[in-house]
């Protein structure tokens, strides 16, 4: 009986992850997916979602000039953008519990990344 309950719980959890990933993909690019994961999968409070949104907006403002520089062929701008994305992800994960961090990493790793399915960018 205990095995059946465990199996049912695992099936329900996997269904929720797959459903959330599908919903998040429809939500747009990076930032919208992250917020969707926080709201829908991790069920964080509205206060944490608001803080994460602020972190994302600050990151976008920081990365906008770097994107322009990268389009101009500045290779250094690309590495600065990667560092800014890593910092943004770390700042958002700092808002989460250890359990939520593990779930967040698992969900984000399961999402298709990039336009061509290449390696996942750091969010």
For 104, the domain range is 2-110
Residue 122 lies in a domain: no
| Angle between the N-to-C axes of helices 75-93 and 46-71, in degrees from 0 to 180, rounded to the nearest 10 | 180
Residue 115 lies in a domain: no
Residue 120 lies in a domain: no
Q: What pLDDT shows up at residue 32?
A: 79
Tell me the C-alpha distance between 27 and 9, whole Å: 27
Residue 119 lies in a domain: no
Total structural domains within the chain: 1
> What confidence tens digit (pLDDT) does each residue in 65-75 have?
988 888 888 88
Please state the rounded mean pLDDT for residues 13-34: 55
Cβ-contact 27, 41 below 8 angstroms: no
Residue 118 lies in a domain: no
Residue 8 lies in a domain: yes
Q: Say whether pTM exceeds 0.75.
A: no
Instruction: Report which of 112, 29, 15, 116 is spatially closest to residue 67, judged by C-alpha positions.
Output: 29
Please state the rounded mean pLDDT for residues 74-91: 90
| Torsion, Cα of 25, 79, 85, 30 (10° steps) | -10
């Amino acid at each position: 009986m205990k095995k059946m309950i465990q199996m049912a719980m695992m099936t329900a959890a996997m269904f929720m992850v797959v459903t959330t990933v599908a919903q998040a993909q429809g939500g747009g690019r990076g930032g919208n997916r992250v917020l969707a994961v926080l709201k829908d999968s991790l069920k964080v409070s509205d206060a944490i979602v608001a803080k994460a949104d602020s972190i994302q907006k600050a990151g976008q403002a920081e990365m906008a000039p770097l994107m322009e520089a990268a389009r101009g062929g500045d290779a250094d701008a690309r590495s600065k953008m990667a560092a800014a994305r890593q910092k943004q992800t770390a700042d958002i994960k700092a808002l989460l519990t250890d359990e939520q961090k593990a779930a967040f990493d698992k969900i984000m790793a399961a999402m298709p990344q990039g336009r061509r399915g290449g390696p996942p960018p750091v969010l």
